[in-house]
Amino acid sequence: MSLCFERRTIQGALDFELQRFRDSPLEFEVCYQPATPHPGVVFYIGGCGDPPGYSEKLLRHLTRDFGYAAVAVKYHCYHTRPETGATLALTDETLDRIRRDYFPELDSARLSLRQLVERLDEVLDETIELHAALVPGKEEYQNFGLMQALDHVYVTEYLERQGLNADFSNIMLIGSSHGGYIAHLLNKISPGFARVLIDNCSYTSPPLEYLWNVLEEGALEGCEARLETRRTVIKCYSLTPWKRCVPPEDPFYYGPAAQAIRDLSHAGHLSTMARQRDVPYQVFSWNAREGDTLSPAGDKIRQAETLRALGVDVHLTLVGEDDLDGRVLKTLAHGFDASLRGLFQRAHEQMAPPPPARRRLRPDRVSFECVDTRYTFQRTGNDDFPVMLNLEKF
């Protein structure tokens, strides 16, 4: 079987909330069989960056073994871990504390983080906690969902215009953790985008402990990533321009409205989504039965119950020790170190047959009431910006 694997770039979504442009093009990967009609399209949505080559292997598997066109979008702020290319920058507060308590002569511009930590390891008699921002490449930052979801809409519109020979009325999404979160948000703001969603341990609203500027002073128990050396514990947080401890009129204020649009269990919003869908919708979800503080089982149960009440066919599997098989589900840590090939296979065996291939119907606009702000996603007819977001205070 001849497979074609390509990497392409297009214009990605803007940050409509903060009115910021992006400086780099949106990259994506697509795998397909030339001159062959595909019965559907699978989007693999990575979490916070993947090991090199992982997405290509998964896309080739989905196309070769299932016959689908397969796509992976390297969405805005895709690589947010040190092991996948993000850099670390100590916060100003941390640098001031190091100068005050340990190295008054510190010139942070001349020392790398590694060198600074090595010096602390040499002189300290006790372990101290440091705070650092995870700085992704391409001068990007964590928008936490909306830009990332819209990036997938933009790629889909592009591939349809380019004539990829696939049934775009039969789209499937698969993602773990943040990838599953984006998948749910994508189907929320673009009703009917996907017919099937496969979700492994996604959270139902942004974990605010990931966002440094959004945290209240002293509320730093959690973090996005944690690094340890002999005498330091470095808690890492996503770089974001959003702020919580500013007046509500500040343009970067992260308030209840911004959190509400990102809430994937909001009954009113999910009802809006359900009313504007034109095809049945299936969700296959795996989550830890207990112990996952990032994606608590209670949150996933509430999300599933809300979706079921709206007619969505939800298959929620709560995983315990007895469910680990060492092949698909390997540990009880967040994400189970799961085989996404295996999860896709399990979901695929239970998927309802897709409706006959047809033109994909998309609402021209969809609006969500978020506390004091109306978020409206509007189709434009513009090839570069096919969907735009308008915010209106009320």
Classify residue 283 by its DSSP letter. Answer: E
Q: What is the DSSP string of 42-67?
A: EEEE-SS---TTHHHHHHHHHHHHH-
Residues 93 and 197 in one domain: no
- Residue 378 included in any domain: no
Residues 67 and 172 in one domain: yes
Q: Can you tell me the distance from the alpha carbon of 101 to that of 294, in angstroms, rounded to the nearest whole number?
A: 34
**Residue ranges of E strands in the chain:** 4-10, 26-32, 41-45, 69-74, 87-90, 128-135, 171-176, 196-200, 225-228, 232-238, 282-288, 313-319, 365-370, 373-379, 387-393
Residues 283 and 350 in one domain: yes
Q: Can you tell me the distance from the alpha carbon of 156 to that of 186, in angstroms, rounded to the nearest whole number?
A: 12
Residues 101 and 191 in one domain: no
Residues 342 and 260 in one domain: yes
- Residue 381 included in any domain: no
Specify the pLDDT at position 209. 75
Classify residue 15 by its DSSP letter. Answer: B
> How many other β-carbons are positioned within 10 Å of the β-carbon of residue 96?
12
Residues 172 and 52 in one domain: yes
- Residue 367 included in any domain: no
- Residue 379 included in any domain: no
What CATH number is given to the structural domain containing 23? 3.40.50.1820
Identify which of 313, 284, 318 has the alpha carbon closest to the alpha carbon of residue 301.
318
Residues 154 and 187 in one domain: yes
Residues 266 and 123 in one domain: no
Per residue of the chain (394 residues), give pLDDT as tens: 689 999 999 999 999 999 999 989 999 999 999 989 999 999 999 987 677 889 999 999 999 999 999 999 999 999 887 777 788 888 888 888 888 888 887 776 677 888 889 989 998 999 999 988 888 888 899 888 999 999 999 999 999 999 999 999 999 999 999 999 999 999 999 999 999 999 999 999 988 777 765 554 445 567 888 889 999 999 888 888 888 778 899 999 999 999 999 999 999 999 999 998 877 899 999 999 999 999 999 999 999 999 999 999 999 999 999 999 999 999 999 999 999 999 999 999 999 998 876 666 678 899 999 999 999 999 998 999 999 999 999 9
Q: What is the DSSP string of 100-128?
A: HHT-TT--TTTS-HHHHHHHHHHH-SS-E
Place of tokens 């969505």: 312
Decide: residue 217, CB within 10 A, 0-12 exposed, 13-18 middle, 19+ buried: exposed
Place of tokens 């919003």: 269
Write out the residue range of the structural domain in which residue 335 sits.
4-78+143-205+256-360
- Which tokens belong to 181? 């979160």
Specify the pLDDT at position 134. 86
Residues 219 and 200 in one domain: no
Specify the pLDDT at position 240. 86
Contact 32, 69 (CB under 8 A): yes
Identify which of 80, 187, 93 has the alpha carbon closest to the alpha carbon of residue 143.
80
> How many other β-carbons are positioned within 10 Å of the β-carbon of residue 29?
19
Residues 68 and 94 in one domain: no
Specify the pLDDT at position 81. 78
Residues 103 and 49 in one domain: no
- Residue 187 included in any domain: yes
Identify which of 252, 355, 330 has the alpha carbon closest to the alpha carbon of residue 18.
252
Q: Can you tell me the distance from the alpha carbon of 364 to that of 386, in angstroms, rounded to the nearest whole number?
A: 10
**Residue ranges of E strands in 181-304:** 196-200, 225-228, 232-238, 282-288
Q: What is the DSSP pairing of strand 69-74 with strand 87-90? A: unpaired
- Which tokens belong to 18? 């903060």
Region for 326 from its dihedrals, namely left if φ exceeds 0, alpha if ψ lies in -120 to 50, beta otherwise: left
- Residue 384 included in any domain: no
- Residue 371 included in any domain: no
Specify the pLDDT at position 307. 96
Residues 6+ apart with CB under 8 A from 154: 10, 11, 12, 13, 26, 385, 386, 387
Classify residue 209 by its DSSP letter. Answer: G
Q: What total of structural domains would you count in the chain?
A: 2
Residues 159 and 299 in one domain: yes
- Residue 390 included in any domain: no
Q: Can you tell me the distance from the alpha carbon of 129 to that of 233, in angstroms, rounded to the nearest whole number?
A: 5
Q: What is the pLDDT of residues 130-155, one digit of tens each?
A: 988 888 888 899 888 999 999 999 99
